[in-house]
């Protein structure tokens, strides 16, 4: 799907889910401004789980539940929606990973936090047995000791 069409669809579903979320943003190839998009990735922090779940469950389920960390749905527009649920303490970690690309998330981010003495477990960054808050995407880059890289340059 072309970027512009995917952006419109993502905006539509962000609009539907936003009333039930503390925070919600598009991620993935749309955020990286790729000309071709194969799926929509959205990261959110649900706050009204009943309303949020009701809206998500209107969409055809592939896997996962809206009460978990991840669910995949097929949209009527013919594209998959990968919906990732975060919280205030791990937003920056989850969002940075989901912006991607997959190669960037692995080779730069994950390798970077391992090199800096961290590990990721159950959606949290861990060091010396302690959960480390990563509230914003820029925080993750600072923690692993690299300059922030704009999403469209992460390939």
State the residue for tokens 């919600």. Answer: 24
Percent of the chain scoring above 70 in pLDDT: 100
Mean pLDDT by 10 residues, the chain (155 residues): 98 98 98 97 98 98 97 97 98 98 97 97 96 98 96 93
The domains of the chain, with CATH numbers, are 3-85 (3.30.460.10), 91-153 (3.30.210.10)
Whole-number pLDDT of residue 155: 83
Phi, psi of 96 (to 5 degrees): -60, -45
Tokens standing for residue 64: 């996962």
Q: 87: Cβ–Cβ under 8 A, 6 or more apart, which residues?
A: 45, 123
pTM: 0.95
State the residue for tokens 């799907």. Answer: 1
Whole-number pLDDT of residue 8: 98
For residue range 37-80, list pLDDT tens digits in order: 999 999 999 999 999 999 999 999 999 999 999 999 999 999 99
Task: Show the 3-state SS of the chain.
Answer: CEHHHHHHHHHHHHHHHHHHEEEEEECHHHHCCCCECCEEEEEEEECCHHHHHHHHCCCEEEEECCCCCEEEEECCCCCEEEEEECCCCCHHHHHHHHHCCHHHHHHHHHHHHHHCCCEEECCEEEECCEEECCCCHHHHHHHHCCCCCCHHHCC
């Amino acid at each position: 799907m072309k970027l512009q069409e995917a952006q419109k669809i993502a905006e539509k579903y962000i609009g539907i889910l936003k009333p039930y979320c503390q925070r919600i943003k598009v991620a993935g190839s749309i955020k990286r401004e790729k000309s071709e998009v194969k799926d929509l990735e959205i990261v959110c922090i649900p706050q009204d789980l009943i309303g949020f779940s009701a809206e998500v469950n209107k969409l055809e389920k592939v896997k996962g539940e809206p009460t978990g960390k991840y669910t995949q749905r097929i949209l009527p527009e013919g594209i998959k929606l990968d919906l990732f649920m975060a919280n205030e303490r791990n937003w920056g970690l989850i969002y940075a990973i989901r912006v991607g690309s997959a190669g960037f998330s692995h080779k730069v981010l994950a390798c970077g936090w391992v090199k800096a003495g961290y590990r990721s477990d159950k959606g949290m960054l861990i060091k010396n047995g302690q959960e480390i808050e990563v509230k914003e995407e820029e925080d993750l880059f600072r923690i692993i000791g690299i300059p922030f890289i704009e999403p469209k340059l992460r390939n």
